[in-house]
A and B are shown apart, each in its own frame.
Chain A
């Protein structure tokens, strides 16, 4: 890194050199960057698989792959994007890098566990990738590994399930570390409601990681036990119950959706005050709604099972409970919009991504109401409507928040600035590509196109062509965005310590931060974390 030695400090890049100083580091910032490079690499693999799926779906019938290959590709796309990208992406990268800095401490509570969690991530990733080259190839079950098919198929389900199991441990360790760090290591005088809202998002997320992940761990081991020893847990042919699998799977996997989106909401809550130059509207409401989402999120898993054969009364109760989640989610959205209202708005790339988050997450959320309503769900459940809804929330929400965070904290992490104009253009292309890709899925889903097939009826062709073209536009935007950031890293101008005028603690330290995070004690703002003067 180029900034630094002239002002008499050594930044965390310069503190130590060599590969070993990275892969065995205990510094939370370096571990955050290790995650950044690994997660981004798997994201690109996931994008490539998605691109291939869209190419297959450009026309009815077999285009570039056979049905089995398509099943394997969408399974691997799901496993990579869920377990290797979207679950760890924000907590493990930006949480690791910024949590200690934003609460004014020098590291997480358990640095060695932090490093172990990255190593487990890599081990889990190797298991997932090994399914490509071993035996009958990648699992063809979908990322949900639904029984009894996952018990019977000859593809590499055991390895894929083991990968998810190991990745779960990585996730638990990160969550544990963050909870203890937030409880024990906050800067003296920083009370709970003095914490930046990103911390609240991470705190709520960490509890879900800690409490829900063990459930999926045990469930996945039960799959292995049934495949290996023939124990009748889920396969009705040997006395099992496939709906029990779905209960156990979604007890984790629905709260996991909030592992994916709560940190993203935290990022939006950081970006908006900075670029509106005003205190966030409804700080406490946003903070508490994070906990409320995490809590209520435990009670709604059954809405994934409305067409599974679950009992009628249970379906009605889960449908009612599902609507409760809309309340804290809407509280956040209204408060963000209220913050923008009459704010001194500076349109910069991070804010564009934050606004795209609000727009796309709202579409995802509103289509979620359709899915949550029992009567409507039965019609759209196994259609592309659900695929569109899911991608609007996850990619349109969390994915764009991730891109926003990259642009927001880029100057802090690397000490340099990217080209703002090119970043804006890349954003516009990404935004257009995203909506072109996923909005047709909502329409074609309502028309009745089933999901998970490599083929479809000719009447769905137009929307599928638009969607596939959208995937190309999206990828062009993605390449432009990454190219611009890499260029900023290589040739960008020195950014300074606080290029955006942010007021949370990370903007009080150097860019890039020194190894102990702060060279002098940071100053806590008197009137809360978002006091703009």
Chain B
């Protein structure tokens, strides 16, 4: 059986940990945006960092990326790179306007 066809059974502990991490990160996002935590110019950066962490947790644990071969990690890496480029180039415009 090929490596990518092997079925993985994830433990309850890992699923629960993933869920808990996502809940905590969501609470942090809500706290920052709705309740107006005063982080000044770091607000956006913090929100993006939290969102990115959530995406990594979902991809790596919940979607079993950690079991996949390097090619899929590379694909996700390229997608993340593109997303960062979108943000950097757009923010670059705003900073210098």
Which of A's residues lie within 8 Å of B, judged by CB? 211, 215, 243-244, 247, 251, 295, 298-299, 302, 309-314, 317-318
A313-B93 Cα distance, complex, nearest whole Å? 7
Name the one of B78, B82, B93, B94 contacting A302, with C-beta atoms under 8 angstroms.
Answer: B93
- Complex: A317 Cα to B96 Cα, angstroms: 12
A211 to B77, CA, bound (A): 13
- What string of 1s and 0s marks CB contacts (under 8 Å) between B60-97 and chain A? 00000000000000000011001001100110111111
A309–B93 CA distance with the chains assembled, in angstroms: 10
Q: Interface digits, B7-42 against A, CB 8 Å rule (1 contact, 0 not)?
A: 000000000000000000000000000000000000
Are A247 and B90 within 8 A (Cβ)?
yes
Q: Is the CB of A314 within 8 A of B82?
A: no
Assess the A311–B93 pair: CB atoms within 8 A.
Answer: yes
**B90, B93, B95, B96: residue with the most chain A Cβ atoms closer than 10 Å:** B93
Contact A243 B93 (CB under 8 A): yes
Known: A311-B92, A314-B96. 14 other contacts (CB 8 A): A211-B82, A215-B86, A247-B90, A247-B93, A251-B90, A295-B78, A298-B85, A298-B86, A299-B89, A310-B93, A311-B93, A311-B95, A313-B92, A314-B93
Q: Which residues of B contact A302 (CB under 8 A)?
A: 89, 93
Inter-chain contacts of B92 with A (CB < 8 A) = 311, 313-314, 317
Q: Which A-chain residue is minimally distant from B97 (CB atoms)?
A: A311
Residue pair A314, B89 in contact (C-beta under 8 Å): yes
The A contact surface, by secondary structure, is helix
> Top 4 A-B pairs ranked by shortest CB distance?
A311-B96, A314-B93, A311-B97, A313-B96
A260 to B69 CA separation, bound complex (whole angstroms): 31
Cross-chain pair count, CB within 8 angstroms:
37
CB distance from B53 to the nearest CB of A (A): 20
Contact B96 A312 (CB under 8 A): yes
Contact (Cβ within 8 A) A211 B96: no
The smallest C-beta distance from A290 to any residue of chain B, in angstroms, reads 15
- Shortest CB distance A320–B (Å): 12
Write out the residue numbers on chain B whose beta carbons fall within 8 Å of the beta carbon of A309.
97
**Complex: how many Å from CA A313 to CA B94?**
10
Contact indicator B93/A211 (Cβ below 8 Å): no
Contact B97 A317 (CB under 8 A): no
State the CA gap A247–B90 with chains docked (Å): 7
- Please name all residues of chain B whose beta carbon is closer than 8 Å to the beta carbon of A215 when the two chains form the complex: 86
Q: How far is the CA of A90 from the CA of B22 in the complex (A)?
A: 41
Pairwise interchain contact A211-B89, C-beta atoms closer than 8 A: no
With both beta carbons as reference points, the residue of chain B lying nearest to A244 in the complex is identified as B90
Q: In the complex the two chains form, is A310's CB within 8 Å of B97's CB?
A: yes
| B47 CB, min distance to chain A CBs, angstroms | 16
Chain B nearest CB: distance from A308 CB in Å?
10
User: Whole-angstrom distance from the CB of B91 to the nearest CB of chain A?
Assistant: 10
Please, which residues of chain B bring their CB within 8 A of the CB of A318? 89
Quick one: closest A residue to B83, CB to CB?
Answer: A211
Q: Choose among B82, B90, B94, B96 the residue that contacts A298 (Cβ–Cβ < 8 A).
A: B82
- Alpha-carbon separation in the docked complex, A2 to B82 (Å): 50
Measured CA separation A295–B90 after assembly (Å): 17
Contact check: which of A211, A251, A312 meets B79 at CB < 8 Å? Answer: A211
CB nearest to B94 among chain A residues:
A311
CA A298 – CA B85 in complex, angstroms?
8
Q: Shortest distance in angstroms between A256's beta carbon and chain B's nearest beta carbon?
A: 14
CB-CB under 8 A from A295, the residues of chain B are 78
